Amino acid sequence: MQPGHNLKFWTPGGSSTPLLTAEHLDVPLDFEGVAAAGSILGTTATQIFSDQDCPVYATYRWLEFYHHESCGKCTPCREGNYWMVRVYRRILAGQGTHEDLDTLLDTCDNILGRSFCGLGDGATSSVTSSLTYFKQDYLDYIEGRTAPKLSDKQLVGAH
The pLDDT assigned to 156 comes to: 53
pTM: 0.90
Q: What is the fold of 1-53?
A: Ubiquitin-like (UB roll) (3.10.20)
The pLDDT assigned to 159 comes to: 45
Phi and psi angles of residue 86, each rounded to the nearest 5 degrees, phi first:
-65, -40
Q: For the segment 5-36, what is each residue's pLDDT rounded down to a tens digit?
A: 999 999 998 889 999 999 999 999 999 999 99
* β pairing state of 20-21 and 47-50: unpaired
Q: Please name the residues in contact with 23: beta carbons below 8 A apart, sequence gap of 6 or more.
A: none
Q: Encode 48-78: b = buried (16+ Cβ within 10 Å), e = exposed.
A: ebeeeebbbbbbbebbbbbbeebeeebebbb
Residue ranges, CATH 1.20.1440.230, the chain: 54-159
The pLDDT assigned to 155 comes to: 60
Task: Using the predicted structure, report yes or no on whether residue 89 has a pLDDT greater than 60.
Answer: yes
Q: For the segment 49-80, what is each residue's pLDDT rounded down to a tens digit?
A: 999 999 999 999 999 999 999 988 999 989 99
Task: Report the mean per-residue pLDDT for the chain.
Answer: 91
As a CATH number, domain 54-159 is 1.20.1440.230
SS (HEC) of 74-120: CHHHHHHHHHHHHHHHHHHCCCCCHHHHHHHHHHHHHHCCCCCCHHH
Residue ranges, CATH 3.10.20.600, the chain: 1-53
Higher per-residue pLDDT: 77 or 97: 97
Count the helices and strands in the chain (H runs, E runs).
6, 3
Task: Using the predicted structure, report yes or no on whether residue 109 has a pLDDT greater than 80.
Answer: yes
